[in-house]
Amino acid sequence: MSETTTRTPGFDSADPEARRALMAQVAPEPGSAKPDPILKVDRIVRSFGGMTAVDVDHLEVQRGVITALIGPNGAGKTTFFNLITGFDKPSSAREGAHWSFDGATLDKTSPANVARAGMVRTFQLTKALNRMTVLDNMMLGATGQAGENLLKSWLSPLWRKQEREIEEKAKDLLQRFKLLEKKDDFAGSLSGGQRKLLEMARALMTDPKMIMLDEPMAGVNPALTQSLLGHIQSLRDEGMTVLFVEHDMHMVRHISDWVVVMAEGRVVAEGAAGEVMSNPAVIDAYLGAHHDTDLGDDSLLADATMEALADEVRDEEEAQSEAPRTTEEGR
Amino acid sequence: MTMDAEARTLAEEQGKEPSKSRRALVIAAGMAGGLVLLWLVGQFAPGDVGSIARAMMREALSPQTAAVAVAVIGLNVHFGFTGLLNIGQAGFMLLGAYGFTISIRYDVPLVPAVLIGLLAAIVFALILGLPTLKLRGDYLAIVTISAAEIIRYVGRSALLTDFTGAAQGIQGKTYRDPFTDLSFFGSGEASIGFLNYQMTGVNGWWVRFVAWTLVALCVLGIWLLARSPWGRLLRGIREDELAILSLGKNAFAVKMQALVIGGALGALGGMIYVLPSSVQPDSMGRALTFFAWTALLLGGAATIFGPVLGSILFFTVRIFIKGTADVVVPNSLMNSQQTEQFSWIVVGVALMLLVIFKPQGILGDKRELRFNV
Amino acid sequence: MKVRQDLRQVSPRASGGVKLLLVALVAGLAWSLVPGAHAVPTLCMPSDTTACLGGTLRTDEGVVPDVEIKVTSPSGEETVLTTNEQGKWNLAAEEEGPWTLEVDQETLPDGVATTGEDVITVQARYGATTPGLIPVRTESYSSERSFGEYLAQSTVNGLRLGLLLALAAVGLSLIYGTTRLSSFSHAEQVTLGGMVAYGLVNVGGMNLWVGGALTVLVCAATGWTQDRLMWQPLRRRGLGLTQMMIVTIGLSLAMQYCFQYFVGARTVRVVQDNPDVLELGPITLTYQSLAAMGISVVVLAAVGYGLLRTRVGRATRAVSDNPALAAASGIDVDKVIRLVWVVATGLAGLSGIMYALVTNGIKWDSGMQILLLLFAAVTLGGLGTAFGALLGALIIGMVVELSPVFGMPGDFKYATAMLILILLLLVRPQGLLGKAERVG
């Protein structure tokens, strides 16, 4: 994956100090400019009937770090995701709505084109393809498959070799996400958390530049949550940009390098994880929505646990770097 | 679908190819064995049992059963693999039949005439797909059933009498000759026990041979497609189109391809359907579409052999019900016309029960109990 | 087709039958001497070497008997036919190709004239019966019937069809709205109304009003039973919507053949005698039609009022909007859906009775045509919006009846309605009153 990710020169995303230093340059205010934005969004408005669900004036997402998009339920996070990934159309389409990803304008593109540009998303309600095997789910993710062309699909020699390569890659990823032994099971038979993992792994099959996770932790049991968070961090460490949506801010504190807070459709605050939580606008937003914000169970993500996790991830990576890595040649 | 999907992934890496072939062989042998058994009963059983078995056997081998099987294979591409709700397959069949027979009546040679029939269905599929494939599934259902009826209305319109023969349809002998001329079976008759037909003739061994050969070719073609990454894409779209979009695939184009292929198979089925008889617009209406659906669900949607098994069973079982009702129920309770209707009522109820209690059909995977997950 | 049906329905009244037979014999003898054409005023059976030509000479007031028609074969042989008591003529042609028909103006009764061309050409084909339509009309007719009057009459007919469709379409739409199920068996519920009314009123001899009311109750009871025994358990099982839809297809098939089993394949009428006619300027309307339209308006208004103003109506709309939310806010969703089934099937039954009354009867497969019009109406208005269904039904009714006025051949009037539906989906897939749906 890292092969296709263009990195900010002189910036090692695996180094916490480097990340902190990089994001320290950024002003902690809504719509602030980033040193090397991979995604830029301008004037996106979406209203349903008379209600404005999303009204984002300007937002930039820094390349190579984990950005969390948080906010209380109903803040418009998922709608915002749908808009920038082409699954929904902004009401402001004719009034200057504009967004670009990695230099490419995406104002009027379909979901498929957004994904092909390198911005791949997952869904809040997991969209595992239930009556297909885990491996088939994975292999669907691969891009540029000759065998998906109707005319070539009849003749297996035209795609047999590529198919084997894709399968190897899929198995590598499944191994990494600890799903390899499930590869011949129906995706529908997996647990909720495993399906989230599968969806993430499937998104990675497309070799994205940025992965957008919509509430990856929702409905996942605590043990798997930790491994999920670990996976997200290791992706970042390999140089991928991660943008994820979460409504519980405590979940994101430990892993995000930058936090964007939305409330009632607008971006109300931005900042480093530690600081943004004390921003009055954020407290307002959360208290306005529900009062038990501070009662979140933080012990789950105690630093000791996170360190243990980081070690585990590192071990896995080492194991992986030894395994033969397949890259796609046709790109 | 699971049968081949699973078999494929397993086979490719672990050399389990034989197990898949074995399953295909078992199914094919089972079907052949069933037919042989039916033939034996028909040949040797006395009385009513024998005569019902003979009627069933004739129905099983009938070219029209083969024709419906081809159309059901097309429907399987739509619904079984892609999840497209085409409730107008009879419209594709009728269009294929019209395209083919009218071309021949205007002295177009056989092969171009077949291509014209296929082309008509392809254009029809494109027209129907364009407005609906981006919408929710029910829209395609409503539009296909409506469009199929439009074709029938237009076909039986008195204005087009010169082309379509209006409600009277087109007589078989006006278009059959180029097809029967191709026969290398010679003339005369041949019998296999009680199955006695002309070698070529109007409705003889030749049309049976061609029809069932085409069924076999379609099965082979669909098997090739279903095991390819394209087939995997179809199943992905069936499961969740949004997920497929999020992976950067052009789901619309793939759905359109599936609609076109299934529709063209429907048209091919329609051509076979009219070869031994005539083009009757009213016999290729909504009811025929529903029979195709019942056959598909009976055999097992998203399976390779399901459509063929389903079509054969559908027609023979109906004959069985009708024949049995004729024999068992006294005429005072149910006359022979009513047993005919009774058999259709049973078909309707069977369709309901099948969908509710065994949606995977006979050949489908047990784990795949539900359509919409 | 038409011709053959007409011939079959000729009931040989004793004296007429004998006379007809005699004419046939004499004519048969006479014409058997003419080579090439073999014309007898009895049923001609098409075969491999025989083509049939036939038709009925008819004005808007009735059939025209005893008119001579000169028939010329493609090779120029001439034959003269005479229409029988039912205005029918019939010819067994032994030559394929263009035959010409010409009415002998002398033999036309006073006040009847041909319209347009005097010589009609028809194509004879072996094994087929070709209808030869010779347009004739009463002379008073031509001066009476202008385009404006035709338009007025068709508009009223369209309104009538629209209102009847609306009764069924609103129900279909309510079912879709609350359960997301496109019910293919809904049109058979309409047929059921006509069939039950036929049984109670025509066969059972019940008073029309009492029988009608009872029919609606019976139909509503089928809705209750269906939901109790089938749809509710299936919803609880979590059966997919696609599966449910196929279940309705099976039900529709079973119901159609049940009608055929019990009633037969013929068209049945609720009331046997011909209804009285009301003439309002250019518009002719039976009192039954008038009553049907009145009842439809009242019932539709009541349904509309119920949906907008009553508690249960608001609950129904809440379930349509968001079942989960409705359930969370204390609405008994199952109860609402049960009620919707009862009301929808009751309305369909009412629609069926009136459809059978105003269109001179109902047949086992009438539902098929109705279903397509219903789907067109519901989709046109916006799937799941009851008021959209009402609007869609009125539009579809108008389109069906008005398209012949604007030159669409009568055969295509249903096709026109479908075509409009498909075109609308291209530009406004959510229908006229539907809201664009939120994706993702």
Q: What is the pLDDT of residues C230-267, one digit of tens each?
A: 999 999 888 888 888 889 989 999 999 999 999 888 88
pLDDT at A178 over 70: yes
Q: CB of B257 within 8 Å of any CB in chain A?
A: yes
> Which among A114, A120, A159 is the nearest to B229, CB-wise?
A159
Same-domain check for residues C231 and C214: yes
Q: What stretch of H or E contains C97?
A: strand C97-103
**C227 and C314 part of one domain:** yes
Please check the confidence at residue C216 and state whether its pLDDT lies above 90: yes
Beta-carbon contacts of C236 under 8 Å, excluding residues fewer than 6 positions away, are none
Q: Is B239 within 8 Å of A130 when comparing Cβ atoms? A: yes
Q: How confident is the model at residue C413 (pLDDT cuts 50, 70, 90)?
A: confident
Asked if A164's CB is within 8 angstroms of B225's CB, the reply is no
Query: Residue C194 is part of a domain; what is its CATH number?
Result: 1.10.3470
Side-chain half-sphere CA neighbours of C215 within 13 A: 32
Average pLDDT rounded to a whole number, residues A205-222: 87
Q: Which two tokens stand for residue B327?
A: 């024999």
Same domain, C178 and C135: no
Q: Which two tokens stand for residue A52?
A: 């404005």
B236:A112 CB<8 A: no
Per the model's pLDDT, the better-predicted residue between C432 and B18 turns out to be C432
User: Can you give the pLDDT at residue C159?
Assistant: 93
Q: Are residues C75 and C194 in the same domain?
A: no
> Could you tell me if residue C437 is inside a domain?
no
List C-alpha distances in Å: B115 to A233, B104, B112, B124, B219. 57, 11, 5, 14, 20
Topology of the domain comprising B2-357:
ABC transporter involved in vitamin B12 uptake, BtuC (1.10.3470)
Q: Rounded to whole angstroms, how far apart are CA atoms B165 and A65? A: 71
Per DSSP bridges, beta strands C277-280 and C283-286 are antiparallel
For residues B144 and B128, is the Cβ–Cβ distance under 8 A?
A: yes
Residue C227, judged by CB atoms within 10 A of its CB (0-12, 13-18, 19+), counts as buried
User: What residues contact residue C428 under an 8 Å CB cut-off, 6+ apart?
Assistant: none
How many residue contacts between A and B have a Cβ separation below 8 Å? Answer: 124
pLDDT at C42: 55
Mean per-residue pLDDT, A213-219: 84
Range A279-305 average pLDDT: 54
Interface of C with A in 117-146 (CB under 8 A): none
> C395, C416 in Cβ contact below 8 A?
no
pLDDT of amino acid A324: 41
Average pLDDT over residues A51-76: 88
Environment class of residue B130 by beta-carbon count within 10 Å: exposed (0-12), middle (13-18) or buried (19+)? Answer: middle
Strand (E) or helix (H) holding C131: strand C129-131
Higher pLDDT, C4 or A254: A254
**Contacts with C439 from chain A: Cβ below 8 Å:** 82, 87-88
- In chain A the domains, ranked by start, together with CATH numbers, are 2-128+210-321 (3.40.50.300), 132-189 (no CATH)
| One domain, residues C134 and C176 | no
Residue B190 dihedral angles phi and psi, to the nearest 5° = -145, 145
User: In terms of pLDDT, which residue wins out, C335 or A20?
Assistant: C335
| Chain C positions in Cβ-Cβ contact with residue B347 (cut-off 8 Å) | 253-254
Q: Read off the tokens for B250.
A: 């052009």
Asked if C384 and C284 sit in the same domain, the reply is: yes
DSSP-based three-state secondary structure for C88 = strand
Structural domain ending residue among the three candidates C141, C168, C192: C141
In a domain, C318, yes or no: yes
pLDDT at position B313 over 80: yes
pLDDT, position A216? 85
Dist. CA A180–CA A182, nearest whole Å: 5
pLDDT of C10: 37
User: Residue B20 — pLDDT band, cuts 50, 70, 90?
Assistant: low
Q: In this predicted structure, what is the pLDDT of residue C164?
A: 93
pLDDT mean over C146-173: 90
Name residues 180-219 of chain C within 8 A of B (Cβ): 182, 184
Structural domain of C18? 2-141
Give the three-state DSSP class for B148.
helix
Residue A225 has pLDDT above 60, yes or no: yes
C87: CATH: 2.60.40.10
Asked if residue C83 and residue C62 are part of one domain, the reply reads yes
Give the model's confidence band at B259: pLDDT under 50 very low, under 70 low, under 90 confident, else very high.
very high
- Of the pLDDT bands very low, low, confident and very high (cuts 50, 70, 90), residue C13 is very low
Domain count, chain C: 2
Summarised one tens digit per residue, pLDDT across range A147-169 is: 898 888 888 889 999 999 999 99
Task: Assess whether C84 and C190 both reside in one domain.
Answer: no
The alpha-carbon gap from C372 to the nearest alpha carbon of chain B, in Å, equals 6
Would you state the pLDDT for residue A331? 32
pLDDT 10s digits, A310-326: 555 555 555 544 444 33
Look at C100 and B214; give whichever has higher pLDDT. Answer: B214
Which of B9, B224, B240 lies nearest to residue A184, judging by beta carbons? B9
Query: Do C169 and C133 reside in the same domain of the chain?
Result: no
Query: Which of A189-193, A286-290, C363-367, C390-394 is modeled with the greatest confidence?
Result: C390-394
Contacts of B272 (CB under 8 A, 6+ apart): B63, B64, B66, B67, B70, B207, B210, B211, B214
Chains touching C by CB (3 or more pairs below 8 Å): A, B
Tell me which residue of A232, A190, A205, A215 sits closest to A65, measured CA to CA.
Answer: A232
A129–B235: do the CB atoms touch at under 8 Å? yes
Let me know whether C172 and C115 are in one domain: no
The DSSP call for residue C228 is I
CA–CA dist C131, C194 (Å, integer) = 31
pLDDT value at residue C137: 67
Q: Of C79, C109, C141, which residue sits at a domain end?
A: C141
How far apart CA B227 and CA B37 sit, in angstroms, is 32
The answer to whether residue C131 scores a pLDDT higher than 90 is no
Boundary-marking domain end, from C141, C167, C192: C141
Which of C160, C222, C158 lies closest to C190 in space, CA to CA?
C222
Q: How confident is the model at residue C322 (pLDDT cuts 50, 70, 90)?
A: confident
In single-letter form, the type of residue at position C326 comes to: A
Task: Give the residue on A whose Cα is nearest the Cα of C436.
Answer: A48
- A300 pLDDT band, cuts 50/70/90, is very low
Q: Is the pLDDT of residue A47 over 90?
A: no
Give me the pLDDT at residue C34, please.
40
CB contact under 8 A, B157 and C409: yes
Is residue C183 a part of any domain in this protein?
yes
Let me know whether C194 and C135 are in one domain.
no
Average pLDDT over residues B288-316: 91
Rounded to an integer, what distance in angstroms lies between the CA atom of residue C440 and that of residue A80?
11
CA–CA gap between residue B106 and residue B113 (Å, rounded) = 10
Which pairing describes strands A241-246 and A66-70: parallel, antiparallel, or unpaired? parallel
How close, in Å, is residue B131 to chain A by CA atoms?
A: 17
Mean pLDDT of chain A: 80
Instruction: Compute the average pLDDT of residues A70-86.
Output: 86
Order of strands across the sheet that contains C78-82: C78-82, C68-72, C97-103, C119-124
Q: How far is B359 from chain C (nearest CA, A)?
A: 8
The answer to whether residues C159 and C289 belong to one domain is yes
Residue A180's nearest CA partner among A172, A189, A168 is: A172
Helices H, strands E: what count in chain C? 15, 12
pLDDT in tens, C46-79: 777 778 888 877 776 677 778 888 888 877 777 8
ipTM value for the complex: 0.83
**pLDDT tops 90 at residue C343:** yes
* Whether the predicted pLDDT of A131 surpasses 80: yes
| Residue C434 falls inside a structural domain | no
Assess whether pLDDT exceeds 80 at residue A112: yes
Domain boundaries, chain B: 2-357
* Interchain proximity C438–A87, CB inside 8 Å: no
Asked if residue C186 lies in contact with residue C374, where contact means CB atoms within 8 angstroms, the answer is yes
Quick check: C319 pLDDT over 60?
yes
